[in-house]
Homo-oligomer: A and B are copies of this chain.
Amino acid sequence: MIITFMSDFGTKDGYSAAVKGIIKSYSAASEIIDITHDIPVYDIHKAAFTLVTYYRTFPAGTVHLCVIDPGVGSALRGIIGVTESYYFVGPDNGLFDFVRCKEEMNFFEIETENYKKISSVFHGRDIFAPVAAQLANGVKPQLLGAKTKIDGPFQTSSFKKQGGAISVRPAVIDNFGNIVFRIMEEELKSYKITKLQFKNFTFHNILRFYNQAKEQTALCLWNSMGFLEIAVNRGNAADIAQVDLTKDELHITVEKI
């Protein structure tokens, strides 16, 4: 069975290696697929967003292991999330919020007593790796923890809407300089979009293909993950716009259909 593995461990140290070693020690037959270990340190939101761009491409039964854990070693609980087709393993800090926006997810709180003797600090290696490996081996989540609920609001808050005016912040800037926003096509399906304004960019249409704009020209499109994106055909939109992820907002004007 497949275990995908995403973390903020970087690639300079042996941390991701230690997690992989434990997985293979618990589950010789599992197949580890590296997602990335270059999530910015402690950036739960970026990780949650990234997860939702790939998790559904994997075969049913895949275990998605996500270790982005600012509170490592603390009392923060570890959880197993279960959807119709997948398992998710990681700390209970909002990593799976975008997934539970999309589909029903049940949760189990990992029973850590069995693992605590091993180490007090490195949960990725000592708790999450064995749990992911056991799920890949076919162990039911009920045997690894008790059913629980995730309380409180989703931590990956989305756009604001007042009448016909929507404002939304960029979620990420990708490797190509595309600016991706936290709003999905399905969320606006009952509206007609008349205008989009982001810094110096103004758009009146949302396109499908990068090459529907001329080379080096900006466009707004629904990207291949279903999110709204500003791109420059064969160029780098983020460099041109000099985006500040903490402040800049996209303003969308809509009319009810």
Contact = CB atoms under 8 A, between A and B. Distances in A.
Interface residues of A, number: 65
A38 B14 contact: no
A19 B8 CA distance: 21
Nearest to A37: B11
A9 B38 CA distance: 13
Q: How many copies does the complex hold?
A: 3
Given A18-B57, A53-B18, A74 B36 contact: no
Interface in A1-44: 2, 4, 6, 8-22, 24-25, 28, 32-39, 41-42
Given A24-B58, A24-B59, A32-B33, A51 B14 contact: yes
A227 to B, nearest CB: 11
A125 B15 CA distance: 25
B12 A175 contact: yes
Contact of A57 (B8, B25, B33, B56): B25
A115 interface: no
Nearest to A1: B28
Given A25-B57, A224-B126, A8 B175 contact: yes
Interface string A82-110: 00000000000000000000000000000
Nearest to A46: B12
A224 B174 contact: no
23 contacts: A2-B24, A9-B175, A12-B39, A13-B172, A13-B175, A15-B53, A15-B174, A15-B175, A16-B35, A17-B50, A17-B57, A20-B33, A20-B54, A21-B56, A21-B62, A22-B57, A24-B59, A24-B62, A72-B210, A73-B208, A119-B224, A125-B224, A126-B224
Given A21-B62, A122-B223, 4 more contacts: A11-B36, A12-B36, A41-B175, A119-B224
